[in-house]
Amino acid sequence: MIRIGILGDIGSGKSFVANSFGFPVFNADNEVTKIYNKDKKVFIKLKKIFPKYISSFPINKKEIINLIIDKKSNLKKIVKILHLEVRKKMYNFIKQNKGKKIIVLDIPLLLENKINKKSDILIFVDSKKSDILKKLSKRKNFNKKLHKKFKEIQMSSRIKKKKSKFVIKNDFKKKTIDRNIRTILNKIL
């Protein structure tokens, strides 16, 4: 099985690129949302550490946003708790897709949390900063302060790009993405 890891800045189009491959995708952001909505054990852990912020189950994303913005160290504490659960879900995903030729990992902190393997094919999604900001500002819950906090715990784009085997220049056009993906697939299959 070939594991493809998608890297890039927040808002660069990683999820769109990941889904465009046409193979099973593990999307860590979606898993985190499910955990907030369905995992009572995580709720209890978070409530114990952040009783001032976390009030009820399912966990309200606004409460999470407030506690992250309030104190930088809070984000690291949340990531530590969620990381274990997301990793378990990823292992289950890999097990369920054992027979597939390719799986795609759309995990924002793939390198930072050392989830990748040496044999993974890393692909960096490169987008213009102006396009990213335009795209992010259209998101319903976009928060500049929160965006900044997440950027602080991520590896620089320069390093991610350097560690990647391929770079996809994302102009946010499906045709361009599909062409890039075909080229990559022809090289790795």
Distance between terminal CA atoms of the chain? 11
pLDDT in tens, the chain (189 residues): 999 999 999 999 999 999 999 999 999 999 999 999 999 999 999 999 999 999 999 999 899 999 999 988 999 899 999 999 999 999 999 999 999 999 999 999 899 988 999 999 999 999 998 888 888 888 877 888 888 888 888 899 999 999 999 999 999 999 999 999 999 999 999
Q: For the beta carbon of residue 3, count every other beta carbon within 10 angstroms.
A: 16
- CA of 85: how far to CAs of 79, 128, 182, in Å? 10, 33, 33
Q: What is the DSSP string of 55-86?
A: -SSSPPHHHHHHHHHH-HHHHHHHHHHHHHHH
25-27 vs 2-8, strand pairing mode:
unpaired
- CA of 69: how far to CAs of 9, 61, 62, in Å? 19, 12, 10
Locate 68 and state its tokens: 């992250």
- CA of 77: how far to CAs of 49, 109, 135, 141, in Å? 9, 14, 28, 22
On whether the CB atoms of residues 116 and 106 are closer than 8 A, the answer is no
On whether the CB atoms of residues 17 and 6 are closer than 8 A, the answer is yes
Name the amino acid, one letter, at 116: N
